[in-house]
Amino acid sequence: MNESFFLIYLENMTFLTIHCEFYAILKLSLFLDISSQQLIDFFQQKRECNMQLVAGANILLTESQVEIRVKTALASHLELDVTAYLLDQQTQKVRGDADMIFYGQTATPNRSVVLLESGAKQPYLTTFQFNTAQLDPQIGKVALCATVTEPYAMNALNTLDLEVVCAGQVIAQAQVLSAQRTEKALILGEVYQHQGRWKFRFVNQGFNGGLQPLAEHYGVDISAPPTPATPPPVPSHTNANPPYGDAVPQSVSSPSPSPSPSPSPSPSPINLSKIRLDKQNSSINLTKKGAGFGRIRVNLNWNRQGESKQGFLNKLMNKGSIDLDLGAMIRLKNGYRDLVQPLGNAFGEYHHQPYIELEGDDRTGAQAQGENLFINGDEWDKIERIVIYTYIYQGVPNWAATDAVVTIELPNQPPIEVQLTEGGRLGTCAIVELVNQNGMIQANREVRYFKDQSYVDDYYRFGFNWSAGTKD
């Protein structure tokens, strides 16, 4: 028996197909004291879990913990920014800058909405984690939007795939045929509340304008892009293998005393700018906005390679996947030196010397958040310089294949990005040098490749003693 019928979901006139296996249940419901909404919820939960949504269709979120994933593949010259706007029930606008979640502000204060970006381009993955039970009662909707790098439009992208995940299971999918879109931005979907229930609606609506017009549309106050300060001259590295020792280049002039901090200003408009350090723009100076720099996050992310294609023998031989480790060499003004990296289990300390701490070790690149170092920016006046590096702990050196990117995030500052797109068969890369220049942070793009960490040490003259180490 192949009979079926349609039930009209009146909220948005979406048709739900109920197959014959539920037919008898529906007949019985006529004799039971069951509301139409309860019946609809039953069929929504019992129908095929992996539902394909069309524009305008919605699905009930049966769990408070929800993930929305955006997946595609990006060309090397393109970037996709996915943003969430927490909207007030009455105004349909953000209440303030804290209600915009994006690359410069990746979570709400109570982590009810968290943005996780992979940083990889092949494949590209952005994940929003929701805890609807923790959302402020004033919030009635969270709009998820995507923008593409200027001057391109959405049709420069490959097809976008959306996944709605509850309890670890994909309950719905949607697809954006980007080749048909000529807009610079797109409203992908909405997590919204209706009659006390949270739902997801696939919107797929174009928006003319990029990230800034979209943010302003939702009520975000945007600041003008910062004008980078001209970096002061610093000693150049001319010798690829300088001698060991403590002959760290010192400033010619004694540093001027730091000015007394001015009273804390009112919150400034949100800054959408990204700073990308490359060969043409290799250095930038950052100044304090208050008494200190706050909690500085250094994130390393990369693309896991070949895991799904590995055979049993390759897995045994640890071939195919690449394990990158994030590390830092630090020198304080009092002469103290330290090393932070997973190898040797040297994870550092945040509140005490060396004022830098490694969060964990991602051995595959599968974690959406990658690896993180945290620098205590409130103790920056005690720090002389930091060299941030990464090394391939496992796998054949192929830096281009990793799609590795390092992002430095400071509170109330535009994030700084450095991509690792070069390198030969050398297994270690010095990425960024952070130098204390009279209280400022001077971030210098390095992207220099070495055989191992000891050669990085030689080059930057920290003077550590090295021996073989392991993570296990």
Residue 7 is predicted with a pLDDT of 44
Residue 282 is predicted with a pLDDT of 87
Check if the beta carbon of residue 118 is closer than 8 Å to that of residue 238.
Answer: no
- pTM for this model (two decimals): 0.59
Residues in the chain: 472
C-alpha–C-alpha distance, residues 71 and 81, integer Å? 12
With 0-12 CB in 10 A as exposed, 13-18 as middle and 19+ as buried, what is 328? buried
Strand order across the beta sheet in which 185-194 lies = 58-60, 197-207, 185-194, 139-148, 80-88, 100-101
pLDDT digits (tens, 9 = 90+) for 429-469: 999 999 999 999 999 999 898 988 999 999 999 999 887 65
Residue 40 is predicted with a pLDDT of 55
| Spans in the chain with pLDDT lower than 50 | 1-25, 27-28, 31, 46-48, 226-266, 305-320, 363-366
Structural domains present in the chain: 5-47 (no CATH), 58-217 (2.60.60.30), 275-460 (2.60.60.30)
Residue 119 is predicted with a pLDDT of 67
With 0-12 CB in 10 A as exposed, 13-18 as middle and 19+ as buried, what is 222? middle
